[in-house]
């Protein structure tokens, strides 16, 4: 302390304080002791009397500084104690809030639900592949009803154990590749790769004796060796072109790598679902766009084919289709086969023995061994029927097959551009048990081809084409209505025309429909340009 004070004393005596000095702007010895004021404004040495005053001031300051330092130490200790106390209080508050949350959880009405009610809640959220949900929209990639309800397992530990113990929550596997890899773009983390690719392209272009490329192609990193064709980049703007080429190369490579990784993860998910679902019925949908990558999934399903209850296969290759027909699908009830191009079933294809629900899209019917009589649900879209032998026309093959649907309860058929005026049965096809029907057609006489006495729900889209129906362009077009309406409860009609303008009217009066359909509770008619003279006014 004496050293510090002596240093300060030397500083006061060493130079005069100017008007901008901090000590000059604050109260100091010049204000406390006027006798010392002239010493601060000059370099004069203090007189003996002034030295005595200075020594007394130093002794007083030492005592005061010690006391102030002691007070500072006490304040620091108090602050540390208060900080520790504050930390302890915050921790105590956190514990109390957690206990409060636990108490509320223990007193929650959810905990008083019996296990069977909780099970019903999970059953309600059970994932379901809805049969033929894609055939009216033409989209084989639409999602199922719900996803696996893992968010219910986040409510509490007790509920978390429920999905792990209920096998039916694991009884479905839905694989739609590319859901997360669509629209991949280069990100900032790929900049180094992009720049390296640009430099590589520049070096290739600057090789001695190399002719300038008029068009650049892009490579594809998939295992099917499928060539991707992109729009070429011409010689103009070489720098931008190289960057775009590198970006697209990176995009294709990244997409291929993500798809490979996606199939690996999907195989693990499938095996986990098969394991946790026990031995109960299992449902699955596979979109088989990549042949080599889908084989492990296909083989895993084959090993558990005896458990399959509902199976949807999209764009399955011909050899895999043959392998599928050899599976032991003794419990398979629902089968959906969707193709983006016309496909034939081979001569060795075998149908599952217990099949009751069948949906086909883009299938060429070259065989007549489909188990029509045991089907309760049948859905057909964009399918082609072959020409028969000289003594049997195509129409007879089609209508002969439909006449075997004696157990049919639900029927969906897309007749768009397939029923010409001469393509009709000699007698109406009787569907004695049909309750629900959905048609898409362009022939006004369609309902004359079917006899549906128990029909309850009817939905159809009628696309009028005067050339197809061989009727005058200016004629009034009637919206088709079924002959039997005694049990009809729901009627949904959509009508469109390829000839504009077209005058529409109902084949039956609106009041006649209500009279002939006494059980009708819902009616929806979407018909543009209805004539004013039509009975819709009633």
Same domain, 149 and 241: no
For residue 227, the 8-state DSSP code is: P
Instruction: Quote the distance between the C-alpha of residue 176 and its chain's center.
Output: 10
pTM assigned to the model: 0.60
End-to-end CA distance of the chain: 111
451: β partners:
430
Contacts of 427 (CB under 8 A, 6+ apart): none
Residue 357 has a pLDDT of 92
Instruction: Quote the distance between the C-alpha of residue 116 and its chain's center.
Output: 31
Same domain, 412 and 300: yes
Same domain, 473 and 530: yes
Inside any domain, residue 267: no
Full pLDDT tens readout for the chain, 538 residues: 444 444 444 444 444 444 444 444 444 677 777 778 778 778 888 888 888 888 888 888 888 898 999 999 999 999 999 999 999 999 999 999 999 888 887 787 777 777 777 767 776 666 666 654 443 433 444 444 444 455 566 666 777 777 777 777 788 888 877 654 322 233 333 334 444 444 555 555 555 554 444 333 333 333 333 333 333 333 334 455 556 666 666 665 566 666 677 777 778 888 888 888 888 888 888 888 777 778 888 888 888 889 999 898 888 888 888 888 888 888 899 999 988 888 888 667 888 889 999 999 888 887 778 889 999 999 998 888 775 554 455 556 788 888 899 999 999 888 875 655 556 677 888 999 999 999 888 777 788 888 999 999 998 887 765 444 444 444 455 667 787 888 999 888 887 665 444 445 555 556 667 778 888 888 887 766 554 444 343 3
Inside any domain, residue 478: yes
- CB neighbourhood size of 239 (10 A): 10
**CA–CA gap between residue 198 and residue 204 (Å, rounded):** 10
Inside any domain, residue 363: yes
Helix (H, G, I), strand (E, B) or coil at 471: coil
Select from 115, 93, 247, 265 the least CA-distant residue to 185.
Answer: 247
Token pair belonging to 315: 């764009």
Is-contact 244 231, C-beta < 8 A?
A: no
Inside any domain, residue 278: no
Same domain, 483 and 376: yes
Same domain, 29 and 126: no
Number of domains in the chain: 4
Supply the range of the domain harboring residue 477: 290-537
Domain-terminating residue out of 203, 231, 256? 256
Inside any domain, residue 284: no
- The position carrying tokens 């696309």 is 463
Residue 232 has a pLDDT of 36
Same domain, 194 and 162: no
Same domain, 384 and 465: yes
**CA–CA gap between residue 395 and residue 294 (Å, rounded):** 38
Inside any domain, residue 116: yes
DSSP H or E run through 285: strand 282-287
**The dihedral of CA 390, 395, 398, 403: what is its sign?**
negative
**CA–CA gap between residue 337 and residue 316 (Å, rounded):** 8
**CA–CA gap between residue 248 and residue 293 (Å, rounded):** 23
Same domain, 8 and 40: yes
Same domain, 395 and 509: yes
Inside any domain, residue 228: yes
Inside any domain, residue 150: yes
Same domain, 164 and 194: no
Same domain, 159 and 206: no
């Amino acid at each position: 302390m004496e050293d510090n004070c002596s240093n300060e004393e030397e500083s006061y005596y060493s130079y005069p304080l100017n008007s901008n000095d901090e000590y000059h702007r604050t109260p100091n010895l010049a204000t406390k002791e006027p006798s010392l004021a002239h010493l601060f404004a000059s370099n004069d040495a203090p007189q003996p009397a002034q030295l005595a005053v200075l020594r007394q001031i130093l002794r007083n300051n030492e005592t005061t500084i010690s006391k102030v330092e002691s007070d500072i130490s006490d304040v620091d200790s108090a602050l540390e104690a208060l900080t520790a106390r504050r930390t302890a209080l915050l921790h105590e508050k956190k514990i109390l809030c957690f206990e409060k949350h636990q108490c509320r959880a223990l007193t929650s009405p959810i905990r008083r639900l019996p296990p069977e009610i909780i099970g019903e809640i999970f059953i309600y959220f059970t994932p379901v592949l809805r049969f033929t949900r894609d055939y009216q929209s033409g989209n084989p990639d639409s999602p199922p009803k719900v996803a696996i309800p893992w968010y219910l397992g986040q409510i509490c530990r007790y509920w978390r154990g429920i999905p792990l113990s209920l096998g039916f929550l694991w009884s479905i596997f839905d694989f739609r590749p590319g859901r997360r890899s669509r629209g991949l773009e280069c990100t900032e983390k790929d900049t180094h790769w992009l720049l390296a690719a640009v430099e590589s392209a520049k070096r290739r272009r600057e090789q001695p004796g190399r002719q300038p490329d008029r068009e650049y192609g892009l490579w594809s990193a998939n295992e099917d060796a499928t060539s991707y064709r992109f729009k070429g980049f011409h010689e103009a703007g070489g720098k931008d072109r190289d960057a775009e080429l590198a970006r697209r190369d990176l995009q294709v490579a990244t997409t291929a790598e993500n798809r490979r990784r996606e199939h690996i993860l999907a195989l693990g998910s499938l095996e986990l679902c098969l394991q946790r679902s026990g031995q109960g019925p299992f449902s699955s949908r596979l979109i088989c766009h990549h042949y080599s990558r889908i084989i492990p999934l296909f083989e895993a399903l084959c090993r558990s084919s005896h458990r399959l209850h509902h199976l949807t296969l999209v764009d399955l290759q011909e050899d895999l289709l043959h392998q599928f027909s050899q599976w032991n699908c003794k419990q398979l009830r629902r089968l959906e086969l969707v193709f983006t191009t016309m496909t034939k079933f081979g001569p060795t294809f075998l149908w599952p023995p217990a099949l009751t629900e069948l949906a086909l899209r883009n299938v060429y019917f070259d065989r007549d061994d489909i188990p029509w009589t045991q089907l309760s649900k049948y859905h057909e879209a964009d399918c082609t029927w072959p020409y028969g032998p000289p003594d049997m026309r195509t129409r007879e093959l089609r209508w002969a097959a439909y006449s075997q649907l004696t157990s049919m309860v639900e029927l969906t058929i897309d007749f768009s551009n397939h029923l010409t005026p001469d393509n009709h049965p000699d007698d109406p096809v009787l569907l004695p048990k049909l309750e629900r029907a959905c048609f898409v057609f362009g022939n006004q006489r369609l309902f004359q081809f079917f006899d549906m006495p128990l029909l309850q729900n009817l939905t159809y889209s009628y696309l009028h084409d005067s050339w197809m129906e061989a009727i005058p362009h200016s004629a009034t077009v009637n919206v088709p209505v079924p002959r039997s309406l005694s049990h009809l409860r729901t009627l949904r009609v959509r009508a469109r025309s390829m000839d504009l303008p077209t005058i529409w009217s109902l084949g039956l009066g609106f009041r006649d429909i209500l009279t002939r359909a006494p059980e009708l509770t819902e009616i929806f008619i979407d018909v543009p340009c209805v004539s004013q003279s039509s009975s819709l006014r009633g």
